[in-house]
Amino acid sequence: MNFGDQSLKENGRPGSSSASIDWVARATRLVPVIEAATDRIELERRVPDDIMSALHEAELFRMCLPPWLGGGETTPKVVFRVTEIIASADASTGWCLGQALGCSRMSGFLDRAVAHEVFGSPDAVLAWGPPEGIAKSVVVDGGYRVTGKWRLASGMRNANWLGPICTVCDSDGTPRQDADGNPVLRTMLLPISSATLIDVWNVLGLRGTGSDSFAIDDLFVPEAYTFHRDSPLDRREDGPLYRMGLSNFYAVAFAGVALGVARSAIKDFIKLAADKKPYHSSMVLRDNPAVQRHVAEAEASLGSARSYLLEMLDAAWDSGHPADAWPLDHRARFRLACVNAVVQSRSVVEFSYQAAGSTAIFQNNPFERRLRDINTVAQQAQGQPVNFEHVGSALMGQEIKGGRV
């Protein structure tokens, strides 16, 4: 394994000042390009190279890197809006972008020389996923020896580096524990060429994410290429973006994906309703009062969910508390807004699919793909309805059971 030269160019990658970049405008310009590639994205089960090139040219994967690395160090609200826009064109592409942006925030937890090696290239993408079974990193002189298997590594087919999370073990294989008795976890960074990629991504929706598995067998990883996610001890950048918990960051990004899919579903249905006459009907769907009411209700549901999310994000972000120390009430309402956005988006997409009738079942129309994609988005932990129970417990002052808020 070659970890390369850690020499650092102090200014990182040359680029525009992040404050002057309109990330939303850049994302919006890519929508027609991505929309034209949706069939290829599904067929190839990855984001095609030309679409990745367009995303890299727009520097969207660099939005969350620190400025010294040529990045944008943007805000979660901008991340939300960008993932929403990209997902309105293609859910898989929006998901991969949101996932990679969460990974790129970890540049703020690395020595600058290592961060530059991993993220300095214009086409840098880091991917990771949860372990499948026990994944170990055994402490040795100068670093760790890593063995394990990981899954659901979204965007891995377009990545240069991987970041598997491992249980840290002593030299005799005994897992280390923290002061509370929990396993000590640490993320390892390694070039993708060091892993064995396993093609398993044959799924219902989000097919273009290529969220495959990978395996590593007794690989040495230097200490400098490891970190503890969200740990203030490992954090090198002090900006609020790097203080925000990774789980909360992903909740925002994936809510953006869900809302983007739902927005396009409504748009597609309105277009269809202008011309389609159901069997045994003399009027187009657009002229049916019941359809008009349901479209209005769907629009209200979607708009309300989006506005509530932005309101709760603003309330937490502007609360005056560091992003890693939001009060429980802010965290609970923020998480509520994120899961509500996913649930309401799913409902809107299901309405669009059902209201489109038999048209929706054919693959040459977007309705069936959006239905598959939104149901896959909703299967992710942060989109599960059980989050309502966790939030309800927190809002009523009870102990939170079965999850984090």
Alpha helices of 195-245 — where are they, by DSSP H? 240-243
Q: What dihedral angle (degrees, nearest 10) is formed by the CA atoms of 196, 199, 205, 211?
A: 0
Q: Could you tell me the CATH number of the domain that includes residue 345?
A: 1.20.140.10
Tell me if 47 is assigned to some domain.
yes
Q: In what order do the strands lie in the sheet with 226-227?
A: 196-198, 212-222, 143-153, 136-140, 165-169, 185-188, 226-227
DSSP SS3 for 402: coil
Can you tell me the distance from the alpha carbon of 56 to that of 318, in angstroms, rounded to the nearest whole number?
31
Same domain, 104 and 201: no
Q: Which residues are within 8 A (CB) of 57 and not within 5 positions of it... i.e. 6 or more apart?
A: none
Predicted local confidence at residue 12, as pLDDT: 39
Predicted local confidence at residue 404, as pLDDT: 63
State the number of CA atoms in the 13 A half-sphere of 328 facing the CB.
12
Task: Report the relative pairing of strands 212-222 and 143-153 from DSSP bridges.
Answer: antiparallel
Can you tell me the distance from the alpha carbon of 294 to that of 286, in angstroms, rounded to the nearest whole number?
11
Same domain, 106 and 140: no
The encoded tokens of residue 210 equal: 């290529």
Residue 149 structural domain? 127-227
Can you tell me the distance from the alpha carbon of 339 to that of 163, in angstroms, rounded to the nearest whole number?
26
Predicted local confidence at residue 4, as pLDDT: 59
Q: What is the mean pLDDT of each run of 10 residues along the chain (405 residues)?
A: 50 48 97 97 97 98 96 96 98 98 97 97 97 94 98 97 97 91 95 97 97 98 96 93 94 97 98 91 92 97 98 89 86 94 97 96 93 96 87 84 58
Predicted local confidence at residue 397, as pLDDT: 86
Spacing of C-alpha 101 from chain mean position: 7
Q: In what order do the strands lie in the sheet with 190-191?
A: 126-127, 161-162, 190-191
Tell me if 235 is assigned to some domain.
no
Q: Could you tell me the CATH number of the domain that includes residue 170?
A: 2.40.110.10
The encoded tokens of residue 109 equal: 């937890």
Predicted local confidence at residue 373, as pLDDT: 98
The residue out of 61, 92, 125 marking a domain boundary is 125
Predicted local confidence at residue 2, as pLDDT: 63
Total domains in the fold of the chain: 3
Predicted local confidence at residue 167, as pLDDT: 97
Same domain, 92 and 212: no
Predicted local confidence at residue 8, as pLDDT: 42
Contact between 334 and 248 under an 8 Å Cβ cutoff? The reply is yes
Predicted local confidence at residue 282, as pLDDT: 84
Same domain, 121 and 206: no
The values of phi and psi at residue 138, to 5°, are: -90, 130
